[in-house]
Amino acid sequence: MANYKYKMFGFSRKFKSNEVAPPADVKEAFSRFAEGGDHMSSDQLRRFLVEHQGEVDVTVFAAERIIEQVLHGRHDAQQGLSLSDFFYFLFLADFNDPIKSQVHHDMTAPLSHYFIYTGHNSYLTGNQLSSDCSDAPIIKALQKGVRVIELDIWPNSTKDDVLVLHGRTLTTPVKLIKCLQSIKEHAFFKSPYPVIITLEDHLTPGLQAKVAEMVTQTFGEMLYYPQGECLSEFPSPESLKYRIVISTKPPKEYLESKDGKDKESISTSGRELSEEESSGRDTADFIAETEVEERKVSDQDDEDINLCENKSGQQGAPEYKRLITIRAGKPKGDLEDALEVVADKVRRLSLSEQALEKAMTDHGTDIVRFTQKNVLRIYPKGTRVTSSNYQPHIGWMHGAQMVAFNMQGYGKLLRLMEGMFRANGECGYVKKPDFLMQKGPHNEVFDPQKTLPLKRTLKVKVYLGDGWHLDFSQKHFDSFSPPDFYTKVRVVGVPADAAKKKTKIIDDDWAPTWDEEFEFPLTVPELALLQIEVREYDRSEKDDFGGQTCLPISELRSGIRAVPLYDQKGEKLKSVKLLMRFQFV
């Protein structure tokens, strides 16, 4: 027993926290595979791992090594695992993680076949209007495994150097060269697969040439670019290991309207504001004006484009254009034309979250067909000035590779992004499900609007949790008693799969045991995420946060698993873990 003392109204109250005991399912598994004995041999452990945990490739030698490492420091040499050792082993995330820790997807397909971990305005330290621009959030994003870094590049005041900032706002700039150097230094800290730099370019041809020189001198042989004029198919992540890739509009497609403001990459039924079109005006005015503008239908846009199309100086620097691997286009027609798939050319298209929501009703299958070969980038609407995020599944359901998120904050939506990219060894590239890449006999593709039949059911059992007494002070949750923990389990995915469950509250226990099971029917398990959050019940105030994680359901390993929890900012807690069981039926 672990004892904790608290002072309350001048009296000393003493609460006991029960030691964590193996749940009944663990005892039953031990008894079954140890064949009634007191210890589990290496061969018996191998059978448990293969038959109960679904780890079919485990050898007796691997089981022997596990036993050696589990027993190291716990006991002198003995003949196998006792029940206590077996339970200890199950609670070790290094041996018993809920998802695979290695890259295991096919990495030889074109880039368009993958969801890619993508940041939005990667240089911002806070809000979209007045925060500092810095290389620090870029470094942090790369260390988390983000593979697409966005930089907005503008001339400095003397027009002889290039700055990174959110244009026409009060954000303080950072030099482009500093951002490029930090990308070079940290690009492959988390993953060997390519880093894509998307440039939102507001430069003169002379400064574009300067950027080309900066990029080539900074990255050297790390920089990949096509030898020909343009690509007919994107290269694969495997072929681009440890390479840097540039994505932007070719210079000749940078056009200006009559009043000198840049146009956004696409207009659907109306005018979508540029990500750079927010100004240094009052935030409330900006939001109000943006909401009005986004409801307008503007025929003037096309007229402005036609008037500017042949302006001199728009060809830009050929050195700059040559470095662009993923070319972003500016379609001049409606969305249906923009989504046309060209046989011998691939490109990138950008849509705001609102434009996607408008388009998906009438053009959902067109978007899926486009993303089978081309790259689609989704970005937050302009009114998200606090750097909030949106529901990423709308983009993923339509095959969008680059669902761009503001990475500098935290919240439940950002946890979904982190959960998706825990898949495939956290390498930042997740192979899209086959159904998003397939065509039927009549060239039909997946329709995101249709509700599909039940495919499988996930059973989740929450046994117990431990480690809070090591990671939190004794009075963190309650000044006068041990915490009252409960666990929330939620599936997020296509609308038909959304579900929420919650365990009972366990009063006054640092090591709660719930032993509760929930079922989640799934129609599209390939895109479903499992959100797990522990909270501490508070009768008078908001329940306290006790840890969370988000896991890709397609990657879950069956059986009894140790599930590490993270804090609100996505940093792993040192000791806090849940013991859970996952089964697919």
Q: Among 173, 130, 182, 128, which Cα is nearest to 153's?
A: 173
Give one word for 313, left, alpha or beta, with left for phi > 0 and alpha for psi -120 to 50.
left
Give me the catalytic one of 105, 120, 363, 398: 120
Q: Among 248, 230, 262, which Cα is nearest to 348's?
A: 248
User: What does the DSSP 8-state code read for residue 99?
Assistant: B
Residue recorded with tokens 């840097």: 244
Q: Are 113 and 400 in contact (CB under 8 A)?
A: no
Residue recorded with tokens 């490492």: 69
User: What does the DSSP 8-state code read for residue 503?
Assistant: P
The structure tokens listed for 262 are 């840049």
Question: What's the per-residue H, E or C state across 294-360?
Answer: CCCCCCHHHHHHHHHCCCCCCCCCHHHHHCEEEEECCCCCCHHHHCCCCCCCCCEEEEEHHHHHHHH
Residue 166: active-site member: yes
**What is the distance between the alpha carbons of residues 98 and 81, in angstroms, rounded to a whole number?**
21
**Kindly report the CA angle at 537 between 533 and 542, in degrees rounded to 5?**
90
Strands 559-566 and 572-584: antiparallel
**Kindly report the CA angle at 236 between 233 and 239, in degrees rounded to 5?**
125
Residue 105: active-site member: no
Give me the catalytic one of 166, 363, 393, 398: 166
Amino acid occupying residue 584:
F
Give one word for 426, left, alpha or beta, with left for phi > 0 and alpha for psi -120 to 50.
left
The radius of gyration of the chain's CA atoms, rounded to the nearest angstrom, is 27
Q: Are 175 and 164 in contact (CB under 8 A)?
A: yes
Q: What is the DSSP string of 358-390?
A: HHHHHHHHHHHHHHTTSEEEEE--TT-TT----
Amino acid occupying residue 554:
S
Q: Coil, helix or strand for 473? A: coil
φ and ψ at residue 458, rounded to 5 degrees: -100, 125
**Kindly report the CA angle at 378 between 375 and 381, in degrees rounded to 5?**
160
Longest dimension (CA), the chain: 86
Q: Which residues are catalytic?
A: 120, 166
